[in-house]
Amino acid sequence: MSFDGRKIILDPEEMPEKWYNILPDLPKPLPPPLHPATNEPVKPSDLEPIFPKELIKQEMSDKRWIRIPEEVLDVYRLWRPSPLIRAKKLEEALKTPARIYYKYEGVSPPGSHKPNTAVAQAYYNMKEGVERLTTETGAGQWGSALSFATRLFNMKCTVYMVKVSYHQKPYRRVLMETWGGEVIPSPSNRTESGKRILEEDPDNHGSLGIAISEAVEDAVKHENTNYSLGSVLNHVLLHQTIIGLEVKKQLESIDEKPDVLVGCVGGGSNFAGFCYPFVKDAEKEGVRIVAVEPAACPTFTSGEYRYDYGDTVGLTPLLMMYTLGHDFMPPPIHAGGLRYHGDAPTMSMLVEEGIIEAIAVKQIPTFEAGILFARSEGIVPAPESNHAIKAVIDEALKAKEEGEEKVIVFNLSGHGYLDLAAYDDFLYGRLKNT
Ligand SMILES: *Cc1c(COP(=O)(O)O)cnc(C)c1O
């Protein structure tokens, strides 16, 4: 470990070698996913047309710790362990007595936390002989993470990209294609699901739910092809726990204890990965855990806790989760990665049980927060991450009012260097405050 007053960097041998599975530590058993045709609990064999056996096992595992394969650790070492950084200049700008730390996941080659699971998923599929993965992507981060990961294991990748993002964010398409991925704007004519939507609404600008329907259909209909999901599912959140396990070691190494943990939530993977290793002791140690979502897609704060489909068309199992309804069409905000109608079932339960708090914030204040962060800390954050930063700034200002020396830790889930068009819209007053 090294600490220069700014960055806490773990030594290579301090990188966690196991992921943490929260399932055995939940306050109640997780309601099972239900088969979309029969409404019966899903059996592992139901999932085999689209997922490899090892990931299905992880999805339902009651083991608290799961060993990370050496081949996956070897890829992680390209950018992990990632730094935990004290946001001193932001603290100064806010004149807050709070100490603010951020875990920076933008150091990965695709620029976000997403390859933590993409690499693991590509690896297990490759081990079971799968040659191609299909997936959906919103802003393009997940598609680029999976294009990167599949390439490292010599596999192919087909990405259905939400149409509005495909046009708003051409550089992520180029990134995916650079890593060898095939990118299709969704809804498309490649699938029955896409065709059906286009018939009803030729100008439909797409959603993650529609793109999932297309990617699942493509995987089911083709040999040696599996589907891969970038958030929501238990095994995805499991792989992301390397983030929080590192943060725990980093904070312990400088004798610091968090009072508040903050992160942005689309489907819940970066925030779960960041905060789950802290959940079990949170109440005992008085740690607040705050999930931040966009007001334009307010799943936790305005949705219902009930069974719903993961996609728009209704091909996926029904999950017990907070949802805005599987046909909810979020407005095209720039934080494309947060435009999902549902939330991870485990995180939904933790919100329902009052263990995780949730708040919703509007788009313009998130960019104001991101700009202040960039002007004090240097890094230009992803629009998604700006949601966390807005909440962190509010917490830090509250600490100032109350004269409290709080420790606020947040996950900076990715950088925004491929989202400069969004910053341009903000800087020149074209951004809507949805
Ligand atoms: C995809 C993404 C998110 C949202 O997805 P989660 O599964 O909720 O983490 C947040 N931040 C960044 C940078 C992303 O790429």
Cβ-contact 235, 55 below 8 angstroms = yes
| Number of domains observed in the structure of the chain | 1
Contact 210, 236 (CB under 8 A): no
Interval 109-130: pLDDT, tens: 999 999 999 999 999 999 999 9
Is the pLDDT at 336 greater than 80, yes or no? no
359: CATH? 3.40.50.1100
- Secondary structure, 3-state, the chain: CEECCCEEECCHHHCCCEEECCHHHCCCCCCCCECCCCCCECCHHHHCCCCCHHHHHHHCCCCCEEECCHHHHHHHCCCCCCCEEECHHHHHHHCCCCEEEEEEHHHCCCCECCHHHHHHHHHHHHHCCCCEEEEEECCCHHHHHHHHHHHHCCCEEEEEEEHHHHHHCHHHHHHHHHCCCEEEEECCCCCHHHHHHHHHCCCCCCCHHHHHHHHHHHHHHCCCEEECCCCCCHHHHHHHHHHHHHHHHHHHHCCCCCCEEEEECCCCHHHHHHHHHHHHHHHHHCCEEEEEEECCCCHHHHCEEEEEECCCCCCCCEEEEEECCCCCCCCCCCCHHHCCCECCHHHHHHHHCCCCEEEEECHHHHHHHHHHHHHHHCCCECHHHHHHHHHHHHHHHHHHHCCCCCEEEEEECEECCCCHHHHHHHHCCCCCCC
Q: Give the pLDDT of residue 338.
A: 87
Query: Model confidence over 156-166: pLDDT tens digits?
Result: 999 999 998 89
Report the percent of the chain where pLDDT is more than 90: 91
Note whether residue 165 is domain-resident. Answer: no
Distance (Å, rounded) from C-alpha 149 to C-alpha 311? 24
- For residue 209, the model assigns a pLDDT of 80
* 40 CA from centroid of ligand 1 (Å): 31
- Cα(356) to centroid of ligand 1, in Å? 18
Residues 85, 277, 135, 351, Cα dihedral to 10°: -110
Taking CA atoms only, the protein residue closest to ligand 1 atom 2 is: 337
Substitution site in 104, 141, 144 for ligand 1 pocket (most atoms within 8 Å of beta carbon): 141
CA of 337 to the centre of ligand 1 (A): 5
Nearest CA to ligand 1 atom 4: 266
What is the arithmetic mean of pLDDT over 249-263?
A: 98
Token pair belonging to 100: 């603010």
CA-nearest residue for atom 9, ligand 1, is 270
Give the residue numbers spanning the domain of 321: 2-14+71-111+239-427
d(CA 413, ligand 1 centre) in Å: 6
**In this structure, how many other beta carbons lie within 10 angstroms of the beta carbon of residue 67?**
11
CA-nearest residue, atom 14 of ligand 1? 337
Residue 284 belongs to a domain: yes
Alpha carbon distance 398, 141 (integer Å)? 33
Residue 252 has pLDDT above 90, yes or no: yes
Of all atoms in ligand 1, which is nearest to the CA of residue 265?
A: 8
The residue whose CA has the least distance to atom 10 of ligand 1 is: 384
In a domain, 226, yes or no: no
Residues with CB under 6 A from ligand 1: 112, 114, 141-142, 231, 264-271, 337-338, 382, 384-385, 413-414
Is residue 382 situated within a structural domain? yes
Whether residue 162 is contained in a domain is answered as: no
Residue whose CA lies nearest to ligand 1 atom number 7: 269
Residue 15 is predicted with a pLDDT of 98
* 284 CA → ligand 1 middle, Å: 29
Q: Which ligand 1 atom is at minimum distance from the Cα of 106?
A: 13
The model's pLDDT over 219-230, given as tens digits with 9 standing for 90+, comes to 999 999 999 999
Whether 335 maps to a domain, the answer reads: yes
pLDDT in tens, 172-230: 999 999 999 999 999 999 999 999 999 999 999 888 888 989 999 999 999 999 999 99
- 38 CA → ligand 1 middle, Å: 32
Question: Is residue 130 a part of any domain in this protein?
Answer: no
Does residue 325 have a pLDDT over 80? yes
Q: Which atom of ligand 1 is nearest to the CA of 112?
A: 13
Residue 52 has a pLDDT of 98
For the CA of 231, the nearest atom of ligand 1 = 7
**Ligand 1, atom 13, residue with closest C-alpha:** 414
The pair of three-digit structure tokens given for residue 59, joined into one six-digit string? 């999805």
**Residue 54 within any structural domain of the chain:** no
Whether the predicted pLDDT of 266 surpasses 80:
yes
How far, in Å, CA of 410 to CA of 306, rounded? 29
Mean pLDDT along residues 319-338? 88
Ligand 1: which of 231, 243, 356, 385 to mutate, most ligand atoms within 8 Å of CB?
A: 231
From atom 15 of ligand 1, which residue's Cα is the shortest distance away?
A: 141
What is the whole-number distance in angstroms between the Cα of residue 293 and the centre of ligand 1? Answer: 11
Report CA-CA distances (Å) from 21 to 62, 66, 83, 277, 434: 8, 7, 23, 9, 35
- Measured in angstroms, how far is the CA atom of residue 281 from the centroid of ligand 1? 25
| Smallest CA separation from ligand 1 atom 5, residue | 266
Residue-wise pLDDT tens digits, 7-51: 999 999 999 999 999 999 999 999 999 999 999 999 999 999 999
